[in-house]
Amino acid sequence: MSAARRFYVYAVTLLSLEMVIWGVVGLLRTIFSRGLIGAGSLLATGLSFVLVGLPIFYFHWRTAQRDALAETQERTSRLRGIFLYGTLFALLIPIVSSLFAIINRVLVALIGLPSSAVWFGRNQSAVDNFIALVVLSLAFFYFWRVTRADEQAHLLETRLPETRRLFRYLWVMIGLTMTVAGVYNLLRFILTTPGARAEQAQLVLPNLAGGITLLLVGLPLWGLFWWAVQDAQAEPDERRSLLRLVVLYLISFASIIGVVAAAASVIQSLLRALLGEPVGGRVLLRENTPAIGLLIPLLVVWLYYGAIRAREVAALADQPRRAALGRVYFYLLSALGLGITFGGLYTLIEFLVLIAFGETQFAAAVGSISDSLSALLVGLPLWLIPWRRMQREALLRDDAGDHARRSLLRKIYLYLALFLLVIGAMSFAGQILYAVLNALLTTRFADTLPRQVTQLILWLALDGALLWYHYRALRADSRQSQQSLGQRHAAFPTLVIGEEDDFVRPLLEDLHRMAPRLPVALHSIQRGAPDETMLAVKAVVLPLELALAPSESLALWLDEYTGRRLIIPTMLQDTTLLGQVEKTPIQMAHEAARTIRQMAEGETLRQAPPTNPWVIVGYVLGALFGLLLLFFLFAMLSVWLFQ
Amino acid sequence: MREDRFFLGILIGIGLLVIVALIVFFSRPTTVRYVSDGTAAGVVQDYITALYARDFDRAYEFLAEADDKVSLETFRTEAEFSLIPSLNNTTVDVGPEEVSSSGNSAVVPITILRGGGVLDSADRSLQEVQLTRQDGDWKITWAPDPLWIYGWMTPSTPEPKLTPTTTP
């Protein structure tokens, strides 16, 4: 089956399956839940869904199954794997929500709350949810059996494990989020109720019902899927999985952000009380209940998954990859901490200056000062602990230090910090000049001018101090890298065999620019094979036609040569290079120079990325849209789960 | 997986949390209690309790008599449809500062805590309820939102000069 046909068959199967399932659910709901009287249009909707969807589903699914059983390639195709696990995912979502609605409804009734306290499916009845649960579970069971049969066929080249891995990790994250939300709601109930008056205790009863429901549904989901992925670690493919590392990083990072936000909220509230804002102990506890309720489960999640992440990264055999993965986590934390610290210092300066100039009273600014101090108390350790660790690594004078200094992530971090701080410095300096010049030129000296200028100067000083510090770090990196890289380049003599043409000229120029200390010799093929002294070079660059059909003397020289060879894929008549995109001599020269530099520096060689600018624009837009979607979904989920 | 003691610890911790939640549920206060001690703070507390308990007739009794006082019928309707939805996401406590009184006037400080969740921090504000003594009893002449609706009555008592004291 061609890919296009396969896509068509599975897409129609999935859509028609959804039509049939929801048609059947609608029909049964009309019969059992609402009664047949006055339900003509509902009945017609259900019937039409089933009557149209069923033959289409049957025909397409039968075709897909027949092809899969007839051809191994079909059964092991990635699209079939996506269809099977995608269908299981699409069925399990409403199963979970129906189960949630049923349990929540029962608990709300048991606790004695009105039906409006139900969190999900308020406009449905228990029978509605039960019908959906049964029909969807039957369909889920059928497709689960089909998937199991495919898996148990033990076919080579099967793509099912990839999709199964994604399916399992998605459910690990969904189950974990529900569990955290459940614990959060229970803690809110537990911390609010003791000592509260009856009417106050009544307000948090929906949290009890919701919390237990979330745990009854979410905990088994998290536990079972996490158990499955942990057991699968016995398989080498699962151990090497990039997805697992991504998920571990995502969970660790999301939980530490939650911990930091919750801790800042608690510290801010305590500082307000300590700085003299009148507040009773009970109000203080109640005010901090949401933060404490979030802090405790997320701290446990961070400790648990953080330890697993650290253990698994430490167990990676590839040292540079291991170090690079560690850096992702620490630079992200450091960036977050730096941002919070800057924000804290910025607002602290703002309010201290206002107080110093008598424009506000300390008592009126207690809230803002507490905000600033809590941001500093949380932001400083979050910035300094990972940053010092990364600095220690970058100051090493060995290979590890070299890799750390040249790490793309470190460069992004430092340049981003510099960029934002320079923009900040420009803005503050511009505002100072504007305020002063405006006062001088208009001769209107506002009462607040001294305060404004003092504030701006202090902000500029803060910005400048951080700018200077990061600039120094970048300079130190560059100095040490130049020194160490220069030595590496000098120890990597390279021989280019060819003529001074459109490829060789830019190659020599690029090499001179990128690695000025790298010794390069050009040997014209007209002069026969290079002499024996050239056998000591670390790398030899030669065009494809010479590699394929060298002269006798060159063939002998190449036989003796033991260093690295870089073949330039020049286009030959009647020769096709698979996987090779046609490039101009200049493009090839840039790529060859970069590869020689990477070889000299002991880096892992990387192929050049696609040069089509539209592909890059597509990647950027895709990433932005993905982030936006993720943020939107997270916000929606948070509002619903942590109400 | 069987050796994952941390995971097992998390499961045990969650189990204990559910048990604690059930103990708290069964031992929670269920009956609405009024202070009824005749102090200004007690009257404010009882007014708040009556509103939360939807005992609007009782809550109405705590309002001072005035020419333009809202009728009981309007009070019931407005309290049900305007105050109760706001109160569902708000807690109100008397204190923490002391009650101030001067002759027949008293001001009771209250702490209002609105909202509060993961994405929004609780908004805490310190407000005051004004009372006047009528026929020997403290009655409310003005209260802040969400305990009051503008127009229920015009505060007739002049702004008192407050001195911190504890009311009898």
Residues of B within 8 A of A643 (CB-CB) are 117
Residues of B within 8 A of A184 (CB-CB) are 118
Contact B100, B162 (CB under 8 A): yes
Q: What is the mean pLDDT of residues A627-634?
A: 69
How many angstroms separate the first and last alpha carbons of chain A? 49
Number of CB atoms found within 10 A of residue A555's CB: 12
Number of CB atoms found within 10 A of residue A634's CB: 12
Interface test with A, best of B2, B4, B5, B10 (most A CBs within 10 A): B10
pLDDT recorded at residue A304:
95
Peptide bond into A530 cis (omega under 30): no
Q: What is the mean pLDDT of residues B42-59?
A: 89
Least confident range from A27-36, A270-279, A612-621, B53-62: namely: A612-621
Q: What is the DSSP string of A300-368?
A: HHHHHHHHHHHHHHHT-S-HHHHHHHHHHHHHHHHHHHHHHHHHHHHHHHHHHHHHHTTSS-TGGGHHH
What whole-number distance in Å separates Cα of residue A78 and Cα of residue B113?
A: 54
- Residue A59: helix, strand or coil by DSSP? helix
Q: Which of A203, A287, A639 comes nearest B119 by C-beta?
A: A639
Q: If you count residue pairs, one on A and one on B, with CB atoms under 8 Å apart, how many are there?
A: 110
| pLDDT, tens digit (0-9, with 9 covering 90-100), for B108-155 | 999 888 877 665 667 888 888 989 888 888 889 888 888 888 878 776
A25 secondary structure, DSSP code? H
A32 secondary structure, DSSP code? I
Q: Is A280's pLDDT higher than 80?
A: no
Provide the residue type at A180 as one letter. Answer: V
What whole-number distance in Å separates Cα of residue A386 and Cα of residue A166?
A: 30
Q: Which of A189, A279, A307 comes nearest B24 by C-beta?
A: A189
Selected residue with higher pLDDT from A549 and A147: A147
0.80 exceeded by the pTM?
A: no
Residues of A within 8 A of B10 (CB-CB) are 300, 304
Q: Is A339's pLDDT higher than 50?
A: yes
Sign of CA dihedral A390, A393, A399, A402: positive
How close is the nearest chain A Cα to the Cα of B68, in Å? 30
User: Which two structure tokens, joined as six digits, stand for B121?
Assistant: 């921090």
pLDDT recorded at residue B161:
42
| pLDDT, tens digit (0-9, with 9 covering 90-100), for B67-116 | 888 888 888 888 888 888 888 778 888 877 778 888 888 899 998 888 77
Residue A66: closest CA among A56, A78, A77, A74: A74
Selected residue with higher pLDDT from A117 and A81: A81
| Cα dist from A493 to A241, A516, A568, whole Å | 38, 12, 18
pLDDT recorded at residue B160:
45
| pLDDT, tens digit (0-9, with 9 covering 90-100), for A193-228 | 888 888 888 888 999 999 999 999 999 999 999 999
What whole-number distance in Å separates Cα of residue A338 and Cα of residue A381?
A: 9
Query: Do the chains contact at A280 and B111, CB–CB below 8 Å?
Result: yes
Reported as a pLDDT band with limits 50, 70 and 90, residue B9 is: very high
Q: What is the mean pLDDT of residues A572-583?
A: 73
What whole-number distance in Å separates Cα of residue B8 and Cα of residue B11?
A: 5
Query: Do the chains contact at A219 and B11, CB–CB below 8 Å?
Result: yes
Query: Do the chains contact at B21 and A190, CB–CB below 8 Å?
Result: yes
Reported as a pLDDT band with limits 50, 70 and 90, residue B54 is: confident
Q: What is the mean pLDDT of residues A342-362?
A: 90
Q: Is A52's pLDDT higher than 70?
A: yes
pLDDT recorded at residue B164:
40
Percent of chain A at pLDDT exceeding 90: 43
pLDDT recorded at residue A8:
93
| pLDDT, tens digit (0-9, with 9 covering 90-100), for A108-133 | 999 888 888 888 877 788 888 999 99
How close is the nearest chain A Cα to the Cα of B67, in Å? 32
Q: What is the mean pLDDT of residues A327-355?
A: 92
Q: What is the largest CA-CA distance in chain B?
A: 76
What whole-number distance in Å separates Cα of residue A230 and Cα of residue A247?
A: 13
* Interface pTM, i.e. ipTM: 0.78
How close is the nearest chain A Cα to the Cα of B34, in Å? 10
pLDDT recorded at residue B168:
33
Q: What is the mean pLDDT of residues A7-16?
A: 93
- Residue B34: helix, strand or coil by DSSP? coil
pLDDT recorded at residue B118:
63
Contact A254, A305 (CB under 8 A): no
What whole-number distance in Å separates Cα of residue A291 and Cα of residue A330?
A: 24
Q: Is B163's pLDDT higher than 50?
A: no
Close Cβ partners of A573 (under 8 Å, ≥ 6 residues apart): none
Helix (H) or strand (E) holding B128: strand B123-134
Query: Do the chains contact at A197 and B10, CB–CB below 8 Å?
Result: no
What whole-number distance in Å separates Cα of residue A392 and Cα of residue A408?
A: 17
pLDDT recorded at residue B94:
86
Q: Which of A179, A290, A303 comes nearest B116 by C-beta?
A: A290
Q: Which of A197, A205, A230 comes nearest B29 by C-beta?
A: A197
Selected residue with higher pLDDT from A278 and A586: A586
